[in-house]
């Protein structure tokens, strides 16, 4: 397995709609494993293919808490079929915007149809933390960043803060 480079905002691919996965072959399986390893090493709880520069409708996630056994999901070509009425506010961050966090309101549960790494079509309800992660990663496949769910004022403040962080990390004056 290989650790992949995570691209950062404002790379254009992060704003594009990703292409469907046509087949699951050895390269796809290797990619899924590499994405999971990259996500864990980052560390993160989810990673979408556009975040590593690939326009493919793939994401990996592991909603397990530190004290729990890992429960990785390999999600290909997802669709959200239903969204619950109840909303959940959760502080989100993003591996493509390191150091930036904000409270985002999303449905507390969703029904998602997807293909797993074995090529099986599944429909699963995700609730709570898992629902938040799944929606965050699903957004990436549609060119949406978590800051897009904020007011324009909050989004602009966070984008400026992120640009300032990137400048200071790169050593620019």
Is residue 137 annotated as a catalytic residue, yes or no?
A: yes
- Which pLDDT belongs to residue 67? 86
- Which pLDDT belongs to residue 172? 55
CB atoms within 10 A of CB 91: 9
Rounded to whole angstroms, how far apart are CA atoms 107 and 89? 9
- Which pLDDT belongs to residue 171? 63
Q: Give the start-to-end residue ranges of the domains of the chain.
A: 12-170
- The answer to pTM > 0.85 is yes
Q: Which string of b and e fits 103-136 if b means at least 16 CB within 10 Å?
A: ebebbbbbebebbebeeeeeeeebbebbbbbbbb
Number of Cα atoms under 13 Å in the Cβ half of residue 110: 20
Rounded to whole angstroms, how far apart are CA atoms 118 and 30? 13
Q: Which two tokens stand for residue 111?
A: 């029904």
pLDDT in tens, the chain (173 residues): 788 999 999 999 999 999 999 999 999 999 999 999 999 999 999 999 999 999 999 999 999 988 889 999 999 999 999 999 999 999 999 999 999 999 999 999 999 999 999 999 999 999 999 999 999 999 999 999 999 999 999 999 999 999 998 888 766 54
Fold of 12-170: Peptide Deformylase (3.90.45)
Helix (H) / strand (E) element for 51: namely: none
Q: Which two tokens stand for residue 153?
A: 């004022």
* Residue 157: cis peptide before it, omega within 30 degrees of 0: no
Catalytic residue among 103, 123, 137, 172: 137
């Amino acid at each position: 397995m290989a650790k992949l480079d995570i691209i950062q905002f404002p790379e254009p691919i992060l704003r594009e709609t990703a292409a469907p996965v046509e087949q699951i072959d050895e390269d796809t399986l290797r990619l899924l494993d590499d994405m999971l390893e990259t996500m864990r090493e980052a560390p993160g709880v989810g990673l979408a293919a556009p975040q590593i520069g690939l326009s493919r409708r793939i994401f990996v996630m592991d909603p397990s808490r530190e004290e729990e056994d890992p429960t990785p999901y390999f999600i290909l070509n997802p669709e959200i079929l239903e969204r619950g009425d109840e909303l959940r506010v959760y502080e989100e961050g993003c591996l493509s915007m390191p150091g930036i966090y904000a409270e985002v309101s999303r449905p507390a549960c969703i029904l998602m149809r997807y293909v797993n790494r074995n090529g099986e079509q599944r429909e699963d309800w995700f609730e709570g933390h898992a629902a938040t992660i799944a929606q965050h990663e699903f957004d990436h496949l549609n060119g949406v960043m978590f800051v897009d769910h904020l007011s324009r004022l909050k989004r602009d403040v966070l984008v400026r803060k992120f640009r300032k962080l990137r400048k200071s990390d790169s050593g620019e004056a």
